Amino acid sequence: MMVVSTSLRLVGIIFVLLLIPPNCSNIGLRDKLENPAGIPSPDSQSKPKRLYAFITSITSRGDMADFVAGGCSGTGISKADCVCNALGVANGLSGPFVAWLSTASADMTCRLFGQAGSACALSSTETWFNTQDQVIAMGTAGLFSGNLQNPLQNTESKNLAVGVTAIWSGTDGAGLAVMGGGATSTCNTWAANISQNGSGGSLGSLTPTWTKGPTPSCSASGNIYCFAIP
């Protein structure tokens, strides 16, 4: 009986191999036999990325030069964007990210979509979450309403931000540059670390003061918010 069973098994294997077209391998043969229609299983289907926002765990004066992350160099808003991306990637968050900073030539209504310009008429219906997976805002309509659904007070590593004395922003609740992005609200376009002031936000606020509140000196050390681009 064992000899017959073995023979039948061998015949079955030979039959399956004969079905394989020439110059093809048997890689994935099991999947093809179990799922001949090729219908992807629920687990194999890609899931849309989740858009996260966080406050950095590190700080810099108003010119962004003090930030150290991922080999980012230089100063200004490009340095801040690099830092946001580096921190997000290092913690497994889907990017790319931009720093929530506005200037006269590029406010957050445009920068959120990776573009320059002011008062861009761009929109998204996607939802942003903090790193505790709580909804921050539903779409740009919610985000640029000025009010958040849950506080933006957790860092890229999901920890609650502590010791925060300033949060650089230069952005109002509608995503526009404060005072037109002038030097006195953006630390001279995020290039100054002395004498001037910059517009900042308030940690944990759900009202527009989360992004526009205090005006710390550009010589102070401040955190920044980082947002994933939809």
pLDDT over 70 at 8, yes or no: no
pLDDT over 70 at 38, yes or no: no
- What is the per-residue pLDDT for 22? 46
Read off the pLDDT band of 14 (50, 70, 90). Answer: very low
pLDDT over 90 at 181, yes or no: no
Read off the pLDDT band of 47 (50, 70, 90). Answer: low
pLDDT over 60 at 72, yes or no: yes
pTM beyond 0.85, yes or no: no
Q: What is the largest CA-CA distance in the chain?
A: 94
- What is the per-residue pLDDT for 50? 94
Distance (Å, whole) CA 214 – CA 216: 6
- What is the per-residue pLDDT for 9? 53
Predicted confidence (pLDDT) per residue in 116-163, tens digit: 999 999 999 999 999 999 999 999 999 999 999 999 999 999 999 999
pLDDT over 90 at 17, yes or no: no
Share of the chain above pLDDT 90, in %: 75
The alpha carbon of residue 156 and the mean position of all alpha carbons in its chain are separated, in whole angstroms, by 9
Three-class SS of the chain? CHHHHHHHHHHHHHHHHHCCCCCCCCCCHHHHHHCCCCCCCHHHCCCCCCEEEEECCCCECCCCCCCCCCCCCCCHHHHHHHHHHHHHHHCCCCCCEEECCCCCCECHHHHCCCCCECCCCCCCCCEEECCCCCEEEEHHHHHCCCCCCCCCCECCCCCECCCCCCEECCECCCCCEHHHHCCCCEHHHHCCCCCCEECECCCCCCCHHHCCCCCCECCCCEEEEEEECC
Between 71 and 8, whose confidence is greater? 71
Predicted confidence (pLDDT) per residue in 76-97, tens digit: 999 999 999 999 999 999 999 9
Task: Lowest mean pLDDT of 27-41, 147-161, 169-183, name the range.
Answer: 27-41
Instruction: Judge residue 37's burial from the number of C-beta atoms within 10 Å of its C-beta, 0-12 exposed, 13-18 middle, 19 or more buried.
Output: exposed
Domains, the chain, in order of start with CATH, read: 2-44 (no CATH), 47-230 (3.10.100.10)
Distance (Å, whole) CA 192 – CA 118: 22
- The amino acid at residue 185 is S
